[in-house]
Amino acid sequence: MRTNHLRSVAVLGIAAAIAAPALVACGSSGSTSDAGGPVTLTYVNWDGGMQAVVDQWNKENPNIQVKLSKPSGTGYTLYNKLITNNQAGTNPDITEVEYQALPALISNKVVVPIDQYVGDISSQFDKSSLAQVQFEGHTYGVPQNICPMVFFYRKDVFDQLGLKAPTTWAEYAADAAAIHSHDPKQYIGNFSAVDSGWFAGLAQQAGANWWTATGTTWHVAINDPATTKVADYWSNLIQQGLVSPEPNWSPQWNTDMNNGTLVGWTSAQWAPNQLPSIAKDTAGKWVAAPLPAWNAGDQTVGIWGGETEAVTTNSKHPAEAAKFVKWMNSSPEGVKILIQQVDVFPASLANQTQDALKTPPPFMSNQPDYNTLMTQEAKNVRTFQIWGPDANVTFDSYSNAFASALQNKTALSGALTQIQDATVSDMKQHGFSVSG
Amino acid sequence: MTAVALPSATRPGRQARSRINLVPTIILVIGGLYCVLPVVWIVIASTKTNSELFSTAPFVPSFHGGFVSNMRALFSYNNGIFARWALNSVIYAVGGAALSTVVCGCAGYALGKYRFPGSVWLFRLIVAAVLLPQIMLVIPQFLLLAKFGLVNNYASVILPQLVSPFAIYLCKIYSEASVNDEVLEAARVDGASESRIFVSIGARLMSPALVTVFLLQFIGIWNNFLLPFVMLNRDQLYPLTEGLYGLLIITGGQAAQYSIVVAGVLVSIVPLAILFLSLQRYWRVDLLSGGVKA
Amino acid sequence: MSTVGDRPIASPVRPVSGGVARPARPARRVRRRRRSMLPLFLLTPAVVLFGLFTIAPGIYSVWLSFRKTQVGGGLLGDLNPTEIFAGFQNYRDAFADPEFRHSIERMLTVAVIGVPATIVLATTLALCLDAKRARLVGIARLGIFLPYAVPGVVASLLWGFIYLPATSPIGGASFDYLGSRAVFFSVANVAVWGVLGFNMVVIYTSLRGLPRDLFEAAELDGAGELQIALRVKLPMLAPTLTLVTVFSLIGALQLFNEPTTLKPIANAITSTWVPLMRVYADAFVNNNIYQGAATSFLLIVMTVAATVIANAVVRGISRRSTR
């Protein structure tokens, strides 16, 4: 018995030793091509439905084949991996990157400018979209989508309570009180202490500019009056217990959305893409309305989310990669599939009138003019002038500071100061010049 | 026991010899339940569909075909990449554990059966490495392998896990305890070479320790998340841990599919559990405690 | 020292002392023939791998802790990023950061709950396994050992579902297991759950190795089972308990998997809740491996100090109780 074990262990060991070199050879990275033969590009993206986009491209471009891969982390976990792997040269050719993270990737030389490949795209996008991908005269991506923030609510519940969709934040607070007093277990929405992008969008609506740049000097103002106003407003609602403290996408929050505990969601354009797996049983009951405003009649809204594709420094075929990016995010064909399969609302102006947008996302079948509303909201978008080079530190600090403020029941504006300090000190530490 | 009769008052539990000893039994049952509870929960949860997961009672399984649909969804997710992840886990764990057993077994034997200048200090150094948290080492390991272009492949995940201080420790103390010097000496007198002695006598006598090391390393590598996470950039190479984690994290367009994750978790636990149960007899955990006295 | 003079030359196969395996005496072998190269050969793979994957990265990590990056010119600093010497700045930043101190406090809180719980529960269960006429021993042992097969991340996921109000089978709807006070116990619970079986088996096998005649003697003297367990078995387990305590302590100081996995569902857990999470955030999210390296090194120093202290304390206690 013992001998058998020993032998089998030895055999396994030897087999593994022999196999190892083969396994080493199995791994490869980045793009490949034979001389003059087809080019294979690797593309990492975490959105569902992207395979259809890639398949269509591959069908039409036999010489430039794109291979889609899902990362094992999203957001900053992915970006950080890209930064680390940059040195090893193993990054994919093309990566999805959210607008707020692009400066950080540029700063770390992970992505390259693609002006020479995509040409002048300024006529195809509005100013705020262009501002997300252009820095110091170079273009680093082709904006994929605009995600204006939108207010979703359960019309059936509102009707029952005789409430209308709030048009101002004052009305929102009043509605919150009405809903909650009618049923202490119901809320008009939640305050998410983990979604910094969400809060940034609200700050944008209020007129904030967390980062501004003059020449090569940065100015950071996260705890400016506009943002503080937003923080105080929500502090007030939280203190009165009128909003749920559950973070978005937590299982508890999922349940609450599905069973009518939450009857509203301050979200963004892409919500109908997410809602089926959040609140399947409520399909067709939600209605989208413009986000409440600070002043009646003001239609400005901020954004939450939105991304572009970028070409990495490691890519051996930047020209082909950029070609794919441009096709995907600005050609009628590419954008059509994005709309249909990924529920994107395109940033590309010409494509905002596509027929595909005439049908609402399946979850909003009760609101046929959903995309018309989006088109209108997209025109009202206001974003930060620029995203800071260490937005990840800001966002990380956000979730810590706001989460403990919620836990300790302290004012959210105190958290803002923490975030401000963390951001500034990190930038200074890295040698950026920061004024004030 | 003893023929001397003693007042039974001083001997609680002595009254009926065949009666079960209640207190320890109850404690053991509670302990067992506590440990098994979450696993039972996951088995039951895997029978539910996504919406049932949050709406039905936790310990009541569902028989509406949820299990089958979950498994189907799991294995068809993203063109069947889950099966690939499972295969990868097997490759990493079996290959890594086997190689590791060889490496650590040899080293343990050398340290245990031979004395040479520096052997004690070498051993202490190796064992001290237990203090280094994996997080601290992982990125430098990555940077090192990147210099040789050895990242993003199977070797990058297997190589760093081959040397386990704990495994070397086990093999060393076991070889000291169970590989009899007299037997070795006799073989030497008979004219056998050292390597012949090692292979046919030493390694054979060490085999319980080797099996234990194999199992420990298998579990360690199977469960390892951080190392593959850093080393690998292609989803075709991910092991189950990394794949499942990504599955849970990926939002935006495909919000967390808990029921698939639940199914994935179940599938990733099952092989280990079976391995345990079937190889239970060969566990020699007494080596750990015995080594303390050595 | 010659091999001939060491001990009486006995018959080749029969062990000298008659059956009980003893730890081998380190035997100096000065051979009449050439010294064997085998040990060198056997050790080389391990030493090379150890050097490459433990020593080298360890040293590199310490070196990194004294460096940092500086961005180059340009607004986004991409013109020429460089790595420069930073002296002790990373360490100073760690100490100066109140969040770091809090993370240590939180980690210690979980440790103070989890380590004694592990030891006490594992010892109790081991003693129960050893008790006379206890039933269901085999199956209990199996069940208790099962969590060891579950990866840490997965275990936290499991318990996460159990704590969640929506899916909790243990009343999570009425009691907030992830609230700011309870969260420490909840995190400790997951950790304890994972290692209980392993520690129990270690202690149990050690228990089985104790000479049973002492127990029988005590029983003859009229000691009850409980008394025997506490007064006789326990003190004799001291070395094993020390080992188990030290390893548990090291594990507690390296707490990471459980809070990280529970973080998405627990508002109370921040991204730097325990020191290793801070290291992870620095290294894997904030692209600051330098700070991460410095913090890890501090953690290691603390771990060494803690294990030395723990060792001394447990030895002291056990020595006193055997008197």
Residues of A in contact with B171 (CB under 8 A): none
Q: What is the pTM of this model?
A: 0.77
Backbone phi and psi for residue B17, each to the nearest 5 degrees, phi listed first:
-65, -30
Whether A240 and chain C come into contact, CB under 8 Å, resolves to: no
Longest dimension (CA), chain B: 78
Q: What is the pLDDT of residue B186?
A: 87
CA angle A18-A23-A28, nearest 5°? 150
d(CA A320, CA A315): 10
Q: Is the pLDDT of residue A147 over 90?
A: yes
Instruction: Please report the sign of the dihedral spanned by the C-alpha atoms of residue A104, residue A105, residue A108, residue A113.
Output: negative
Do the beta carbons of residue C145 and residue C197 sit within 8 Å? yes
The residue-averaged pLDDT of B239-259 equals 65
| Helix H or strand E encompassing A138 | strand A138-139
Q: What is the pLDDT of residue A251?
A: 67
End-to-end CA distance of chain B: 33
Q: What is the pLDDT of residue B7?
A: 42
Question: For A129-133, A225-229, C18-22, C179-183, which range has the lowest pLDDT when averaged over its residues?
Answer: C18-22
Q: What is the DSSP string of B94-111?
A: IIHHHHHHHHHHHHHHHH
d(CA A293, CA A287): 17
The pair of three-digit structure tokens given for residue B194, joined into one six-digit string: 């050292």
Do the beta carbons of residue A380 and residue A297 sit within 8 Å? no
Residues of C in contact with B194 (CB under 8 A): 36-38
Write out residues 271-290 of B within 8 Å (CB-CB) of C.
272-273, 275-277, 280, 283, 285-286, 288-290
Helices and strands in chain C, H and E counts: 15, 2
Q: Is the pLDDT of residue B95 over 90?
A: yes
CA angle A313-A318-A320, nearest 5°? 155
* Of A109, A124, A92, the residue nearest A324 (C-alpha): A92
Backbone phi and psi for residue A239, each to the nearest 5 degrees, phi listed first:
-60, -35
Length of chain A: 436
CB-closest option in A42, A71, A88 to B151:
A88
Query: Position A225: which residue type?
Result: P
The residue-averaged pLDDT of B123-127 equals 89
pLDDT digits (tens, 9 = 90+) for A319-339: 999 999 999 999 999 999 999
Residues of C in contact with B143 (CB under 8 A): 60
Query: Position C192: which residue type?
Result: V
Longest dimension (CA), chain C: 86
- Averaged over successive runs of 10 residues, the pLDDT of chain C (323 residues) comes to 34 38 48 66 91 91 87 71 83 85 92 94 90 80 83 79 75 77 92 90 83 82 80 83 85 86 77 88 81 88 83 75 61
pLDDT digits (tens, 9 = 90+) for B127-150: 888 777 777 788 888 888 888 888
pLDDT digits (tens, 9 = 90+) for B201-242: 888 888 888 888 898 898 889 888 889 988 888 888 999 888
Contacts of C107 (CB under 8 A, 6+ apart): C252, C253, C255, C274, C275
Residues of B in contact with C90 (CB under 8 A): none
pLDDT band at A66 (very low <50, low <70, confident <90, very high): very high
Q: Which domains does chain C have, with CATH numbers?
A: 97-322 (1.10.3720.10)
At A128 the three-state DSSP class reads: helix
Q: What is the pLDDT of residue B176?
A: 84
pLDDT band at A30 (very low <50, low <70, confident <90, very high): very low
Q: What is the pLDDT of residue C28?
A: 52
Minimal C-alpha gap between A210 and chain C (Å): 16
pLDDT digits (tens, 9 = 90+) for C255-264: 888 888 787 7
Q: What is the pLDDT of residue C78?
A: 67
Which CATH superfamily, name and number, covers A32-143+304-379?
Periplasmic binding protein-like II (3.40.190.10)
Q: What is the pLDDT of residue B287?
A: 52
d(CA A76, CA C115): 34
Q: What is the pLDDT of residue B229?
A: 85
Contacts of C55 (CB under 8 A, 6+ apart): none
**Domain coordinates in residue numbering, chain A:** 32-143+304-379, 149-303+384-435
CB pairs under 8 A between B and C: 323
CB contact under 8 A, B233 and A81: yes
Distance of CA A345 to the CA centre of its chain: 13
CB contact under 8 A, C60 and B4: no
d(CA B165, CA B28): 32
The pair of three-digit structure tokens given for residue C167, joined into one six-digit string: 């899916």
| Helix H or strand E encompassing A231 | helix A225-239
The pair of three-digit structure tokens given for residue B92, joined into one six-digit string: 């990493």
Task: Give the alpha-carbon dihedral of A314, A316, A320, A325, to 10 degrees.
Answer: -10
CB-closest option in B156, B214, B233 to A9:
B214
Mean pLDDT score of chain B = 79
| B245: closest chain A residue by CA | A72
Write the CA distances from C293 to B153, C275, C279, integer angstroms: 25, 12, 7
Length of chain C: 323
Residue B255, by phi and psi: left (phi above 0), alpha (psi -120 to 50) or beta? Answer: beta
At A297 the three-state DSSP class reads: coil
Strand partners of residue A280? none
* Of B166, B161, B32, the residue nearest C250 (C-alpha): B166
Rg (CA), chain B: 25
Do the beta carbons of residue B208 and residue B283 sit within 8 Å? no
Helices and strands in chain A, H and E counts: 17, 14
**Which regions of C80-176 does DSSP assign to beta strands (E)?**
82-85
Q: What is the pLDDT of residue B11?
A: 45
d(CA C84, CA C290): 11
Which of C14, C67, C121, C128 is best to mutate for the B interface (most B CBs within 10 A)? C128
Which CATH superfamily, name and number, covers A149-303+384-435?
Periplasmic binding protein-like II (3.40.190.10)
Backbone phi and psi for residue A152, each to the nearest 5 degrees, phi listed first:
-105, 140
| Helix H or strand E encompassing C22 | none
The pair of three-digit structure tokens given for residue B213, joined into one six-digit string: 């090391």
Task: Give the alpha-carbon dihedral of C242, C247, C249, C250, to 10 degrees.
Answer: 140
d(CA C155, CA C187): 11
Q: Is the pLDDT of residue A394 over 80?
A: yes
The DSSP bridge pattern shows strands A94-98 and A307-311 to be antiparallel
Mean pLDDT score of chain A = 87
Q: Quick check: ipTM above 0.95? A: no
Q: Is the pLDDT of residue A10 over 70?
A: no
Q: What is the pLDDT of residue B278?
A: 74
Cβ of A58: how many Cβ atoms within 10 Å?
16
Write out residues 251-290 of C within 8 Å (CB-CB) of B.
254, 256-257, 276, 279-280, 283-284, 289
CATH of domain B75-293: 1.10.3720.10
Question: For A20-29, A412-421, B28-37, which range has the lowest pLDDT when averaged over its residues?
Answer: A20-29
Instruction: Please report the sign of the dihedral spanned by the C-alpha atoms of residue A259, residue A264, residue A267, residue A273.
Output: positive
pLDDT digits (tens, 9 = 90+) for A186-224: 999 999 888 889 999 999 999 999 999 888 899 999 999
d(CA B74, CA B77): 5
Burial readout A219-251 (b: 16 or more C-beta within 10 A, e: otherwise): ebbbbbebbbbbbebbbebbeeebbbbbbbbbb
Long-range contact pairs involving A9-15 (C-beta distance under 8 Å, separation at least 24) = A9/B98, A9/B101, A9/B102, A9/B207, A9/B210, A9/B211, A9/B214, A10/B102, A12/B94, A12/B95, A12/B98, A13/B98, A13/B99, A13/B101, A13/B102, A15/B98
Do the beta carbons of residue B228 and residue B242 sit within 8 Å? yes
Burial readout A65-100 (b: 16 or more C-beta within 10 A, e: otherwise): bbbbbbbbbbbbbbbbbbbbbbbbbbbbbbbbbbbb
Q: Rank A70-74, B8-12, B29-33 by mean pLDDT and report only the highest.
A: B29-33
Domains A32-143+304-379 and A149-303+384-435 share a fold: yes
Instruction: Please report the sign of the dihedral spanned by the C-alpha atoms of residue C301, residue C305, residue C311, residue C314.
Output: negative
CB contact under 8 A, B289 and C296: no
Contacts of B251 (CB under 8 A, 6+ apart): A46, A74, A249, A274
Q: Is the pLDDT of residue A2 over 80?
A: no
Distance of CA A294 to the CA centre of its chain: 24
CB contact under 8 A, B219 and C148: yes
> Exposed, middle or buried by CB within 10 Å (0-12, 13-18, 19+), for B105?
buried
Cβ of A353: how many Cβ atoms within 10 Å?
10
Q: What is the pLDDT of residue C93?
A: 85
SS3 of A212-224: the string is: EEECCEEEECCCC
